[in-house]
Chains A and B, each alone.
Chain A
Amino acid sequence: MEPKIRLENVSYYYGNQPALRDVTLDIPPNAITVIFGPAGGGKTTLLRLINRLNDEVEGTRMTGRVLLDGQDIYAPGVDVPRLRRRVGMVFALPLPLPGTVRENILYGPKLAGVRDRARLEEILERSLRLAALWDEVKDRLDDPASRLSGGQQQRLCIARSLALEPEVLLLDEPTSGLDPISTGKVEEALQELKHRYTIVIFPHSVQQAARVADYAAFFLMGEMVECQPGRDLFTTPRDRRTEDYITGRFG
């Protein structure tokens, strides 16, 4: 199967500090790919490279190529805002923008130029349903987004990304601040979403990684140690370091 995203020999430096070392990784479509490992392993950098959010950081250097559907996203002439609409991102902390639930969801589509009222309402409901939030907020669409609970806010952020109808969804520890019940709801939503999207996620624990992974990649100090289908990686890791980490010997 053609990978949705392919990283070819990607290295990345903050000043002279390497964050990623020669990473080559294929991310298959319509599946959940889990990227895990101890902090400082270059995971966040990796995500931010896939939607070029690191463009704004000064003093960085990158080598290698990142391909989306076979096209180099760092090639000259790439429309970065359009790329970011194709590659949605959800951050570790639920981050509602100032404004109501409705404004949060429709912010992106409005920026993208959608004006039609009926169309916007449709996007609103569809995104909230996909993020498994619609039933909880359908009567509170005009409340400030910050009045939602933490778990609801995080699903709101997922819905906000989905409102742009992306092809890829990047999630940076989307459940780190959530209780187990909210976490369960977000994970359920992800299982539904993977049929339509390519999902890349950093879990906040090895257990979560094992629960949701179709594919899993283990990162250590900027290096990709191994990548396998999740079932295999968590039962028969090839590398000693992976085994040590998932059995809790370090990290």
Chain B
Amino acid sequence: MGKPKRLSHPSHPRWGEFAIESTIRVLAFSSIGFVILIFFFLVREGFPIFWETSPENLFGTRWYPTFGLFGTLPLILGSFLVTVTAILIALPLGVATAVFVREVAPNWAREILKPMIEVLAGIPSVVLGFFGMTVVAPLVREVLGAPTGLTAFTGALILAYMALPTIISVAEDALDAVPKSYRDAGLAMGATQWQTIWRVVVPAARSGIVTAVMLGLGRAIGETMAVMMVTGNAARMPLTLDSLFRPVRTMTATIAAEMGEVAQGSVHYHALFGIGIILFVITFIINAMAAVTIFKKPRRGGLR
């Protein structure tokens, strides 16, 4: 019997392969490193605000940095109002569109619609903001008879529009992943196409649709430019029902608008980074929730 060949070590070292592997490894670790550095920078610049002012001030209702008032509550609520409204608009539209594209539209229409939806995702937000300012805002003002068209609602419309491509593509993939046999089983039981879609296919794709909404939400809450251009930017507490049709100011818009004029190292400067931390935490929670719904193994057979 001959000596068994060794499998673990090739007779000569493969330098090319080693170089490629190392390069990829360095690149991968550096991108992780950058994220960590950004996080530390954010914390270093923003954390001081938590002892520079009192919690009552920081989570108060008035944001007047020139008077030392750093109440972030109107900004948080502003972001919340705009984002939630945007999702309420985008969710039914997005899911309905996904159902149409995947289940109803004939093949040729799907071939046209899918790339168009993907192009939507590529429109720069400043262009959408401009569109919002010049087209949507005057429309909102006229239709509602409001004093200004730059309102939370206008922002929500634009944000909904921005979240739509994400929601549609991800929801469509989820519907696509439902086995064809489910559709056959539904139809074979005498369900109409409509009943099969709503009672069999959509429930089976539910976790994917939830993910789609989460990702859309993540995109919407972090959006800055378009929102800053159309929401009017008044840092007031959106507490009454009609606040939706009044100007509001979001967290992102506040950072973007004020960062350029603030003295580095000042309390105001720290406060803006503090908003960044709050935003980071919120987005992180949303993304984590989306990730959990993606990776959660569907309970075998139970309603997913």
Contact = CB atoms under 8 A, between A and B. Distances in A.
The answer on A and B forming one complex is yes
B189 A164 contact: yes
Given A81-B191, A111-B195, A95 B185 contact: yes
Contacts of B187: 53, 56, 84
Given A53-B184, A95-B182, A147 B190 contact: no
Nearest to A85: B190
Interface string A83-98: 0110011010101111
User: For the complex, would chain B's binding face be called helix, strand, loop or mixed by DSSP majority?
Assistant: helix
B107 interface: yes
Interface in B154-202: 181-193, 195, 199-200
A91 B186 CA distance: 12
A186 B106 CA distance: 39
Interface of B: 106-107, 181-193, 195, 199-200, 203-204, 299-304
B58 to A, nearest CB: 47
A102 interface: no
B189 A98 contact: no
Contacts of B301: 96, 98-99, 144-147
Contact of B190 (A58, A97, A111, A146): A111
B106 A58 contact: yes
A88 B107 contact: no
A146 B300 CA distance: 7
21 contacts: A51-B188, A53-B184, A56-B183, A56-B187, A56-B193, A81-B192, A88-B189, A89-B188, A93-B181, A95-B182, A96-B301, A98-B301, A98-B303, A107-B199, A108-B190, A111-B189, A144-B299, A147-B300, A147-B301, A160-B189, A161-B188
A85 B189 contact: yes
Interface string A133-171: 000000000001111000000000100110010000000
A82 interface: yes
Contacts of A95: 181-182, 185
